[in-house]
Amino acid sequence: MIEFIPLLMFLVACLVLMSGYPVAFSLGGVALIFAAVGASTGVFDASYLQAISNRLYGLMGNQTLLAVPLFVFMGGMLQQSKIAEGLLESMARLFNRLPGGLGISVAVVGALLAASTGIVGATVVTMGLISLPTMLKRGYDPAIATGTICATGTLGQIIPPSIVLVLLGDVLSSAYQQAQRDMGIFNPETVSVGDLFVGAIIPGFLLVLFYMVYLWAVAILNPKRMPRHAEDQAAQQETSGILAELLPPLTLIIVVLGSILTGVATPTEAAGVGAAGAILLAAMKRKLSVAILSEVCSSTLKVTCMVFMILIGATLFSLVFRAYGGDELIKSLFSHLPGGAASAVLVVMLVIFLLGFILDFIEITFVVVPIVGPVLLAMGVDPVWLGIMIGLNLQTSFLTPPFGFSLFYLRGVAPATIKTTAIYRGVAPFILIQIAMMFLVALWPELATWLPDIIYN
């Protein structure tokens, strides 16, 4: 019975989280309660808790995690200074001649915002406030409009520089080194955030392409759902104005990603360049003010504090979980599954998908991945492929009714005239596209691993 305490601990943590109690304190509190009860009954060695100070010191000194507040600041500055809004308007004019041009422009801008913010909630809310009124005004079916915004808003989970990939990269790096040590390899290979960034490029690009093809097909086959909007000739010929809006943010995104891909800068250094570049863009467009800077700094501080508090709670949780032999229990359960590593990955993906209904990506990354990651990687699973699959999985769960976070974010800013059922109908085709993308990456792992091998090896 004692060997199943880690599973009981995990279930209790999920129940506490579902009650609405703050995540960081839920994880840390459950861990301390199980440690205290175990120590009083003699089934837990309290000396394990002495390691928490060293672990937290190592986390606070982790240079990779410095990229989190810098990327959040970059995205917040682009949003608060209305640069993102100008980007959407320019893209809409650029794609206006295509069937479903406005919908396609929303998909493209959603991908660009994903590349600049990496935060799903911020992207969905921003796109909902900026593009939803315009799409409805032009006669778009509410289901198509809301589904497009929800789907493109979640691209921040997979398109680099993604906060999800930054956190996943750091956690998987530790898991990969632990897996190799468990296998007796004391000169371990490493996996970095940059590896995941590069590995996500092809799947992320294909997702955006599939979204655009779907919207174009709907506009061709059922134009009443996505009517074309006729602009005057002068508006169509404003090429210089369109370029003036597009080039600065595109240049910033290319510089940030390019510096990482070419090895010129680490993700943390590139995040610093992105934050500084966002300030410079806002100043060049005369949209920088003390009020905007204060608001961006305040929102960045809140997000960063949330991330690191959850990280502290999750670190304590994983320490107690392992002290109870949780990693050995997971390894034993996986080793008895028929089908080996493939079955183990399938089970983990299903669990992550279901947890995505009730937990944010940060909690899943810090709680689930450290538990199952070393076991899967020790079974021969490629760390980059696993990271991309988890990213796609989390993105899909964010879209899936009735608990998808993206749906809640849009529901909060959508007009009351739009029914929730319309949002559910709108995201259904995009969920199918997401699942198809996961199957493609599962069948052809090279979609995630080929580019990192080419660039880094």
Is 161's pLDDT higher than 80? no
Q: Given this model, what pLDDT does residue 119 score?
A: 61
Q: Given this model, what pLDDT does residue 206 score?
A: 93
The residue among 80 and 289 whose pLDDT is bigger is: 289
The residue among 71 and 358 whose pLDDT is bigger is: 71
Per-residue confidence band for 246, with pLDDT thresholds at 50, 70 and 90 = confident
Spacing of C-alpha 295 from chain mean position: 23
On average, the pLDDT of the chain sits at 81
Per-residue confidence band for 229, with pLDDT thresholds at 50, 70 and 90 = low
| Cβ pair 387, 431 in contact under 8 A | no
Q: Given this model, what pLDDT does residue 217 score?
A: 92
Residue 349: which of 280, 432, 441 has the closest Cα? 441
Give the DSSP letter string of 5-72.
Answer: HHHHHHHHHHHHHHTT--HHHHHHHHHHHHHHHHHHHTSS-GGGGGGHHHHHHHHHT-SGGGHHHHHH
Is 382's pLDDT higher than 60? yes
The residue among 51 and 209 whose pLDDT is bigger is: 209
Tell me the C-alpha distance between 354 and 359, whole Å.
Answer: 9
Q: Given this model, what pLDDT does residue 431 score?
A: 92
> Phi-psi bin for 412: left (phi > 0), alpha (psi -120 to 50), beta?
alpha
Per-residue confidence band for 114, with pLDDT thresholds at 50, 70 and 90 = low
Average pLDDT over residues 98-115: 79
Is 235's pLDDT higher than 60? no
First-residue to last-residue Cα distance in the chain:
47
Average pLDDT over residues 134-154: 87
Tell me the C-alpha distance between 163 and 76, whole Å.
Answer: 13
Helices (runs of H) and strands (runs of E) counted in the chain: 22, 0
Is 439's pLDDT higher than 90? yes
Q: Given this model, what pLDDT does residue 95 score?
A: 73
Average pLDDT over residues 372-390: 88
Q: Given this model, what pLDDT does residue 233 score?
A: 45
Tell me the C-alpha distance between 154 and 208, whole Å.
Answer: 11
Per-residue confidence band for 234, with pLDDT thresholds at 50, 70 and 90 = very low
Is 232's pLDDT higher than 50? no
- Which pair of structure tokens corresponds to residue 129? 């406030």
Is 178's pLDDT higher than 60? yes
Is 433's pLDDT higher than 90? yes
CB atoms within 10 A of CB 40: 10
Q: Given this model, what pLDDT does residue 231 score?
A: 54
Backbone CA torsion sign across 130, 131, 132, 136: positive
Q: Among 27-31, 159-163, 281-285, 318-322, name the one with the lowest average pLDDT.
A: 159-163
Q: Which of 77-86, 100-109, 329-338 has the highest mean pLDDT?
A: 100-109
The residue among 255 and 85 whose pLDDT is bigger is: 255
